[in-house]
Amino acid sequence: MTDDDFQSHDHSHDHPEGSELSETQIRVRTLETILSEKGYTDPVALDRIVEAFETRIGPHIGARVVARAWTEPEFRERLFEDATEAVNSMGLSSPVGSHLIAAENTESTHNMVVCTLCSCYPWEVLGLPPGWYKSAAYRSRAVIDPKGVLAEFGVTLPADINIRVWDSTAETRFIVVPMRPEGTDGWDQQKLATLVTRDSMVGTGLAKNANEVAP
Amino acid sequence: MNSIHDMGGMHGFGPVVPEVNEPVFHEKWEGRVMALQRSLGVAGLWTIDMSRAAQEALPPQRYLAASYYERWLMGLEERVMQFDLVSPDEIETGHSLRPGPTLKRIFKPADADKMNRGNYARPSSASAIFAPGDRVRTTNINPVTHTRLPRYARDKVGVVEAVRGCHVFPDKVAIGEGEDPQWLYTLVFSGRELWGEEYDPSISVSIEAFEPYLRPE
């Protein structure tokens, strides 16, 4: 099946290739066809939404925010004071809603974000959530066994560090600001951003070490 | 409602398995479902909490058997029929058979350049009862309808860390009783309060708690 087959709308419901489609694919195509025929949805708009989340809206945005917080004390202060305002001041194509909160990792506290009730995630700065974030395993265990979960991500923290888990039970959203790795003095924001992984901004990872990125 | 979506603290789901180089969508239909949901959202017919409530009402066996986007699809199919945008005979034939109600807004291609998540903050009619540092106890509620107070955090003592403003109250808006804005707090529990006195003292957990969930301790 090509992209065209799926997205064009002049095919009839009993398309000869229909038998090759899964039941779910047929249900989605049917729903989209009817909604488009009625003018409720615009196929081009749907293409653009998908494209936005496949290209423009992703963890590279959060990485820029973190790299800036690492290098500009004034921005860092604004970020922890009002992350929504600080992040929107960077002119994102998809502005965050009113309730972004930044949680700072320090020598004494490691932050980790979950949504036990559904899969709330800060789409505007991290894009769509990965499969593991939406999994029953993560949603159930992050609040009761965060150290076990971190170990499965290969993260071991110093024994004396406190772990704070944030359960996203309302429309507030969270981005973790990981600790800046050693050996990165003098790096510009663009280079620093390459150290900031998606998982480090959810709290299931740490920022990469300086020697893990190309010089 | 006390159903399977409220997973915090459950055992038995196995390890968390991250996927290396995971694509944004594993199958093309997932992207279409996400886009349909996002696109129809601007019509303002239903709210995010109504969508959540519909998923929570799925029988647990179905909830667990379905993937994230399959659950979205089930919810969408249900709601387009509930609001008469689509009829069962149209699903049957695969085409529009008659015009439907007019929507207040249609998502246009250019809207994808600047998608804005809804703002759930609302003006307050009273001042916040609690302040940072206050000790509070969560209520022991077990509504059969939607709530955002997870089971593991009911009837537990925590400390208010921050006041997040006044927000749409999910428990009311999900049952069609209006937005009923309530103060929202970040409430921190020690791991021991939640999981027992033998639990790791270095772990704490916060929830975002609406004022009606809280009592002074």
Q: Mean pLDDT throughout B69-77? A: 94
Quote the ipTM score: 0.96
Give the model's pLDDT for residue A143.
Answer: 98
Give the model's pLDDT for residue B96.
Answer: 97
Give the model's pLDDT for residue B116.
Answer: 78
CA-based nearest distance A18→chain B, Å = 12
Query: What share of chain B has pLDDT > 90, as a percent?
Result: 92
Give the model's pLDDT for residue B119.
Answer: 86
Q: Which of A54, A57, A99 sits opposite B164 (nearest CB)?
A: A99
Q: Chains A, B: CB contacts under 8 A, how many?
A: 274
pLDDT at residue A2 is higher than 50:
no
Specify which residues B203 forms β-bridges with: A163
The tens digit of pLDDT for each residue in B2-22 reads 999 999 999 999 999 999 999
CA-based nearest distance B215→chain A, Å = 18
What pLDDT band is residue A93 in, cutting at 50, 70 and 90? low
* Number of neighbours of residue B64 by Cβ within 10 angstroms: 13
Give the model's pLDDT for residue B114.
Answer: 83
Decide if A96 and B117 are in contact by the 8 Å CB cutoff.
Answer: yes
Q: Does B28 touch chain A (CB under 8 A)?
A: yes
Q: Mean pLDDT throughout A168-174? A: 96
Q: Mean pLDDT throughout A55-65? A: 95
Decide if A34 and B9 are in contact by the 8 Å CB cutoff.
Answer: no
Decide if B203 and A165 are in contact by the 8 Å CB cutoff.
Answer: yes
Decide if B112 and A24 are in contact by the 8 Å CB cutoff.
Answer: no
Report pTM: 0.93
* Number of neighbours of residue A63 by Cβ within 10 angstroms: 24
* Mean pLDDT score across all residues of chain A: 90
Decide if B117 and A170 are in contact by the 8 Å CB cutoff.
Answer: no
What pLDDT band is residue A213 in, cutting at 50, 70 and 90? confident
The tens digit of pLDDT for each residue in B127-181 reads 999 999 999 999 999 999 999 999 999 999 999 999 999 999 999 999 999 999 9
Give the model's pLDDT for residue A22.
Answer: 92
The tens digit of pLDDT for each residue in A102-149 reads 999 999 999 999 999 999 999 999 999 999 999 999 999 999 999 999
What pLDDT band is residue A1 in, cutting at 50, 70 and 90? very low
Contact residues on chain B for A96, CB-CB shorter than 8 A: 117
pLDDT at residue A88 is higher than 60:
yes
Give the model's pLDDT for residue A165.
Answer: 98
What pLDDT band is residue A98 in, cutting at 50, 70 and 90? low
Phi-psi region of A186 (alpha: psi -120 to 50; beta: other; left: phi over 0): left
pLDDT at residue A12 is higher than 60:
no
Interface probe, candidates B51, B56, B202, chain A, greatest A C-beta count within 10 A: B202
Residues 129-148 of A with CB under 8 A from B: 130-132, 134-144, 146-147
- A76, A126, A168, A192, B208 from B166: Cα distances, Å: 25, 25, 16, 36, 12
Q: Mean pLDDT throughout A14-36? A: 83
Contact residues on chain A for B10, CB-CB shorter than 8 A: 136, 140
Give the model's pLDDT for residue A91.
Answer: 82
Give the model's pLDDT for residue A11.
Answer: 41
CB A98 within 8 A of CB A166: no
Decide if A32 and B76 are in contact by the 8 Å CB cutoff.
Answer: no
Decide if A24 and B73 are in contact by the 8 Å CB cutoff.
Answer: yes
**How many angstroms separate the CA atoms of B193 and B151, rounded?**
13
Q: Does B81 touch chain A (CB under 8 A)?
A: no
**How many angstroms separate the CA atoms of B158 and B139, rounded?**
12
Q: Which domains does chain B have, with CATH numbers?
A: 28-114 (1.10.472.20), 135-216 (2.30.30.50)
Q: Which of B48, B90, B203 sits opposite A163 (nearest CB)?
A: B203
pLDDT at residue A5 is higher than 50:
no
Q: Which of B17, B19, B117 sits opposite A123 (nearest CB)?
A: B117
pLDDT at residue B115 is higher than 90:
no
Residue A210: enclosing H or E segment and its boundaries? none
Residues 4-23 of B with CB under 8 A from A: 5-19, 22
Decide if A13 and B93 are in contact by the 8 Å CB cutoff.
Answer: yes
Specify which residues A109 forms β-bridges with: A162
* Number of neighbours of residue B106 by Cβ within 10 angstroms: 16
Give the model's pLDDT for residue A14.
Answer: 47
Interface probe, candidates A9, A21, A35, chain B, greatest B C-beta count within 10 A: A35
Give the model's pLDDT for residue A95.
Answer: 72
Start-to-end CA span in chain A (Å):
42
Give the model's pLDDT for residue A9.
Answer: 40
Most confident of A83-92, B97-106, B111-120: B97-106
The tens digit of pLDDT for each residue in B13-64 reads 999 999 999 999 999 999 999 999 999 999 999 888 988 998 999 999 999 9
